Structure 1
Amino acid sequence: MITIPDSERLSYRLMTLDDGDLFYELDQDPAVMKYINGGKPSTREDIDNIALPRLAKYLNPEKGWGLWQITEKAEQRFLGWVLVRPYQFFSEQPQWHNLELGWRFKQISWGKGYASEAAAAVVQALREQNDISHFCAIAEQDNLGSIAIMKKLGMEYIRSYTHHDPMGDWDVLYYEMTAR
């Protein structure tokens, strides 16, 4: 099982299907949901019937796939999560050696470097696996916060495209970096 050592300010735990309350808590802020669905808070039914079943499909503790809970060590406060799963997981041709990263953080943590610190810690832990060739991330063009994190991680812009997902299609920028 993959573990991620604490970083300077944060601790990490792979979330489970019992963490629905934390998903719900995070998704109640319209600003957090702006680039997910236009700013609509998730209902508890959304969490139970969509978010958790989706997580169940790619959750793999041995490989480190799933949502890594990010907790501020000093206050023991839940800040958000970092996603890890094979790119295009929900398509007919998942890229098993190219891990997609994503993040969702509470507004109270924005602008403090927590997402960059957390994503870097996740990447560092996952680099130990020999079967990973790349890390990637996608974001809408206007999501400057996420794009800044991608760049801080060392990812480079590759292309723009329409991302197809069971949850809907949206125009995104695709960033990528090698795993080594």
Structure 2
Amino acid sequence: MYELHTDRLTLRGWRDSDLEPWAAMNADPEVRKHLGDLLTREQTDASVARFQAEFEQRGYGWWAVEVRATGEFIGFAGLDRVDDGMPFSGVEIGWRLARTAWGKGYATEAALAVLAYGFDTLELSEILAVTTSTNMRSQAVMRRIGMTRDPADDFEDPEAPEGPLRPNVLFRRACGARV
């Protein structure tokens, strides 16, 4: 698996030592606020196995993110194919960090590294980002990394239950767009 390095972060393959903090993140109601139900340990372990298999199969996916100075696992960032059944297609960028890592610029830093990989290595022409209409923190990161939103692209997530997780926004960034 190809690693990405920034000034403060390493995006790398998953390790067994990541499973416990990853499970804790997915059991945190604040971390999961815009994502849906809390996940069990079994569900989070299965997600890591899926992330690893998908990365090996396609050459991109979800990297584990750690702080370079300490080696602390703080979450994930990466690229994924848009799920079938969505009103658009392509490759989307995403991130999820532990609450202790919020507000430090890590999501933006990791996302910029992932964008560079997507455009420079994978030669993608466009990368998408999706979040709930109420997730202002993620939308702020999307804007900081040069993504733009057209309200005409907003949609109702067909997989989300009725309620605040259903209205979603779509951001885009084309290859070569300036930050």
| Coarse TM-score class (shorter-chain normalised) | 0.7 to 0.9
Q: Is the 8 A contact 1:164 1:170 kept in 2?
A: yes
Choose the corresponding residue for 2:81, options 69, 79, 86.
Answer: 86
Aligned pairs for 1:132-171 within 5 A: 132-158=124-150, 159-165=153-159, 170-171=166-167
- The code of the aligned residue for 1:155 comes to M
TM-score normalised to the size of structure 2? 0.80
Q: 1:149 to 1:133 in 2, by over 3 A?
A: same
- The code of the aligned residue for 2:96 comes to R
> Which structure features the higher share of helix residues?
2
**Structure 1: stretches of 5+ with no match in the other structure:** none
Choose the corresponding residue for 1:77, options 55, 67, 72.
Answer: 72
1:120 is paired with a residue whose SS is helix
Structure 2 distance, partners of 1:164, 1:18, is: 35
Deviation at 1:22, TM superposition (A): 4.3
Structure 2 distance, partners of 1:92, 1:34, is: 21
Deviation at 1:128, TM superposition (A): 1.8
2:157 is paired with a residue whose SS is strand
Deviation at 1:149, TM superposition (A): 0.6
Larger displacement relative to structure 2 (10-19 or 110-119)? 10-19
Deviation at 1:152, TM superposition (A): 0.7
Structure 1 distance, partners of 2:60, 2:17, is: 16
Q: Which residue of 2 aligns with 1:45?
A: 42
Structure 2 distance, partners of 1:161, 1:155, is: 17
Q: 1:9 to 1:67 in 2, by over 3 A?
A: same
Q: Which residue of 2 aligns with 1:7?
A: 6
Q: How many residues align?
A: 171
Deviation at 1:121, TM superposition (A): 0.8
Aligned pairs for 1:49-64 within 5 A: 51-52=47-48, 55=51, 59-61=54-56, 63-64=58-59
State the Cα deviation string for residues 119-143 of structure 1 (Å, max 9, x = none). Answer: 1011112222354111111111110
Q: Is the 8 A contact 1:2 1:62 kept in 2?
A: no
Q: 1:84 to 1:119 in 2, by over 3 A?
A: same
Q: Is the 8 A contact 1:27 1:42 kept in 2?
A: yes
Deviation at 1:102, TM superposition (A): 1.1
Percent of aligned positions that are identical: 25
